[in-house]
A and B are shown apart, each in its own frame.
Chain A
Amino acid sequence: MSDAASPARRLGRLAGPLVVALAAFAPSAASAADGPLIVNYSLPPPTLDPAFDCDITDLGFISSLYPTLLRHPQVPLEGAPEGVAVTREDPAKLEGYVAESWTVLDDGKTLTFKIRDGLVFSTGRPMDAAAVAASLNRALQSGACGTYFTEASQFGNTESITAGEGNTVVITLKRPEPLVPFALTVQATGIVDVAEVEANGGDQWLASHAAGGGPYVLAEYQPGVKAVFKANPTFFGTPAREPEVVVNFITDNATLLLQARNGNADITLGLSKAAVASLADSDGVKVIEVPTARWQLVGFPTKVAPFDNVKFREALTYAVPYEAILKTVAHGYGELFFGPFPPAFPAYDERFGAPRPYDLEKARALLAESGVATPVNAELIFREGQVDQEQIATIVQGAWSQLGVNIAIKKLPASGFQQAAQAEDKTALIVRFDGPSIADPAWLLDYDLRAASVYNMSNYDSPEAEKLLDEAHPLADQAERQKYWDRIAEIWIADAPRVPVYADVYTAVVADDVKHWSYAQNGPFDIDNWGR
């Protein structure tokens, strides 16, 4: 869910200035309208195989290659810049995509999806119920994120996925799980032409090729360099806006920025917030801002003294200069809140999520009340290559030192960070960028609140909140569920298991000739809706 760079890769930045210099003097591309849509992007995906893709941004990247059974409908984005129509997915709603309709039987354990008639993969093979069932079974058996999403995180809950009568796919569950339809919008469950995969030798081939039936086909792919998408003439839905899209992977922020400035890209994604801010008033480009349900957080190791002391944690939450971080780190592209749900999340209620003020006096009073003797020494970790998190860590370190809490900051390589962050017992404070793939409170709280979850970044353990989550989980009435989320938010705020630093506002830089842009729930990629 976040990127990183090892020291060796960072050494590679020594070549950055040269690249920058060359890029600065490189001739501009021909008028974009004459050729393919050029997208420059900072994060090359590790694999193109939907079932093995786990990172939300990587999942988004393949969304135009593999249609899913269901999807979220598009809604206009308010506050978009003039001259460009911007839409985003409404994560609270579902609509059919490969499936034209679906039904959930009363017991909640049988889901039947009616597949559209006459669909074909780009290979020409039929995308019928049998092919869809084969694809979902492949994802289910992958043992990777395909399994996680097909089962909506309830491992072992799927009894069978079969092709039924009348071009239908039937998913039979052992226990009811209302989030399964939402999980089936995630690209890890995208419909793959399994026969084509098997004909080419299996999973390894699919890591760098495509076998789908989405709006685009993959015409060319050079891992880490570029991908060329061409409109799929056999696609069943609304045709893609552009006949051809070229995605260049450019990991160097300075080069990305120069390319955007020089007009060499129609769409630039993955720029640092500082770089985006520098382009905000530039001619020839527009900055699109999309509030997201993702946030930067500092997790407390709540099983370790003195972080097991609620008053101590609360004191620290009042000693974070939130506004300053929002200004200096996010350059204003963020929103402040304090609670388990960010403002762009469906369960957010401003009564239980208002930002926490920076109040050093109150922090000192709470610290005295906690009875914790200072100085306190602790370690704070974050993943290497995360410039924003490094700044957050530095500011928090400086702010908490005023309370006598001395933080040693440690950058960890991706593997080391993952190991430390997913350890059963966390021993360090963790700075992390996080957010759920499915915008449902139960999905978020299942991994973020439960004591047994390794993704619970604070080892937060509240039996009362977990009991409420268990009760809310099967409820279908949203108003009824909201009462539970509000109560859980109240408990969470009182316990302060972590510091939600700010909710992220996603930013995309688009050239003036781009007239359509859309934000997908999983990552920004919704390529078929982008165009000039």
Chain B
Amino acid sequence: MTDIADRRLPPSTARRLARGLRRDWALYGALALFGALVLLAAFGPLLWPIGPLEMDFAATLAPPSLAHPMGTDGTGRDIFARFMDGARVSLSVGAAVVLTGFVFGGGLGLLAGIGGWTADVLLMRIVDALAAFPPLILAMAVTVGLGGGLHTAALGIMLSTVPFYARLIRSDVLRLRGQTFIEATTALGARPSRIVFRHLLPHTASTMLIQSAAVFGYSILTLAGLGFVGLGAQIPEPEWGAMITEGLQYALTGGWWVSVFPGIGVLIAVVTTNVIADHVRDRIDPRGQQLGVV
């Protein structure tokens, strides 16, 4: 017997996605740029001969050159080396936030969706309490409360993303619970765990994928924001937001490169992840197609 619920996407949707992706140059561009950033973060620091903390007092505030492609900062540190290390920090935090948001936020949403009225009310009020604070303010409050630093900043960002996942997954699960294939599976005597892991979770995958891409960009931007106000990475750790703050003092005295390159890093990371999320969503969501939204 064929279990219709085992199909992740209807064939027509998959075909539409594949067909759409073939011509989606914006998505290709975003993927290429994001991939380059990942490669730079993964292998750049291993290959580049200058360390991110090395100071060259003979070359302070040197403009971009072959020796220093992104110039140097006020203490003679190579900005390209710091940019790559900063990418490592930002992408790692982004990935950690996505993972923990997925596990904790998704878990909460799932439990609320399948746990009945009491669990739903109880868990969603917790989520509401978290969502009552603007995400950046919540992240700042956690960071200030626990002491500034990369780990506490990441923790604050993670906490602020929990409601994003919880609400989406809960609504997806509630919608799926009423679907015929779930009712049929339940009627056939499937265990709750099988229903969750074989049927519900796979059908929320597309939502989670799109949400994760958006959260990834959000977390990089928030980390940069916290770094900008001195609550993120601490001296001398290279982090894009902190690097932008550090460079502000030189922005009007000719040293534009100190802030601009980490700013470009944030821009690329955030824009590419958002473009990827938007385009994949548009291709997957048939309603968007019907409305001509791409």
Q: Do A and B come from one complex?
A: yes
Are A254 and B230 touching (Cβ within 8 A)? Answer: no
Task: Say yes or no: B249 contacts A397, CB within 8 Å.
Answer: no
Q: Contact: B57 with A324, CB < 8 Å?
A: yes
In the assembled complex, the Cα of A278 lies from the Cα of B250 at a distance in Å of: 10
Verify A253–B249 contact, CB threshold 8 A. yes
Determine whether the beta carbon of B248 is less than 8 Å from that of A13: yes
User: Complex: how many Å from CA A93 to CA B250?
Assistant: 40
Question: Pick the contact of B251 from A7, A254, A387, A393 — CB < 8 Å?
Answer: A254
Give Cα A398 to B248, complex, Å.
Answer: 22
| CB interface residues, B 131-166, toward A, < 8 Å | 140, 144, 148
Q: Known contacts being A257-B253, A274-B249, is A7 close to B231, with CB within 8 Å?
A: yes
For B228, the chain A residues whose CB sits under 8 A away are: 10-11, 13-14
Q: Is the CB of B252 within 8 A of A257?
A: yes
- In chain B, what residue has the closest Cβ to A380? B235
Assess whether A258 is interfacial by the CB under 8 Å rule. Answer: yes
Inter-chain CA distance A258–B252, complex, in Å, is 8
Q: Which of A10, A258, A390 is in CB contact (< 8 Å) with B229?
A: A10
Question: Are the CB atoms of A394 and B75 closer together than 8 Å?
Answer: yes
- Chain A residue nearest in CB terms to B236: A394
Give the docked Cα–Cα distance between A257 and B251 (Å). 11
Determine whether A395 belongs to the interface, using a CB cutoff of 8 Å to chain B.
yes
The answer for the CA separation of A7 and B140 in the assembled complex, in Å, is 10
Q: Enumerate chain A residues within 8 angstroms of B252, measured Cβ to Cβ.
A: 20, 254, 257-258, 275, 278
Interface 1/0s, chain B 222-254, versus A by CB < 8 A?
Answer: 000000111100111000000001001111111
Q: In the bound complex, what is the Cα–Cα distance between A64 and B293 (angstroms)?
A: 68
Contact B57 A390 (CB under 8 A): no
B55 touches A395 (CB 8 A): yes
CB-based contact B75/A395 at 8 Å? yes
A328 with B229: CB separation less than 8 A: no
A384 touches B230 (CB 8 A): yes
State how many residues of chain B have any CB contact under 8 Å with chain A. Answer: 25
- Tell me if A391 counts as interface (CB < 8 A to partner B): yes
A181 within 8 A of B: no
Instruction: Answer whether residue B33 sits at the interface, using C-beta atoms and an 8 A cutoff.
Output: no
Which residues in chain B, 69-85, are within 8 Å of chain A measured between CB atoms?
74-76
Within B194-239, which residues are at the interface with A (CB < 8 Å)?
Answer: 228-231, 234-236
B235–A394 CB distance below 8 A = yes
Query: In the docked arrangement, what's the CA distance between A463 and B254, Å?
Result: 51
Cβ-based interface call for B60 (8 A) = yes
A393 touches B57 (CB 8 A): no
* B99 contacts across to A, CB distance below 8 A: none
Tell whether A275 pairs with B253 under 8 Å between CB atoms, given A7-B229, A394-B235, A409-B234.
yes
Please tell me if A444 contacts chain B, counting CB pairs below 8 Å: no
Contacts of B74 in A (CB 8 A): 274, 328-329, 391
Q: Separation in Å of the A329 CB from the closest CB of chain B? A: 8
B interface list, Cβ under 8 A from A? 53, 55, 57, 60, 74-76, 140, 144, 148, 228-231, 234-236, 245, 248-254
Q: What are 17 A-B contacts with C-beta separation under 8 Å?
A: A7-B231, A13-B248, A20-B252, A253-B249, A254-B251, A257-B253, A275-B252, A278-B254, A324-B57, A328-B75, A387-B249, A395-B55, A395-B75, A397-B235, A397-B236, A409-B236, A411-B230
Q: Which 9 residue pairs of A and B lie closest in terms of their CB atoms, listed nearest first?
A: A324-B57, A278-B253, A409-B235, A328-B60, A7-B229, A11-B229, A10-B229, A254-B252, A257-B252
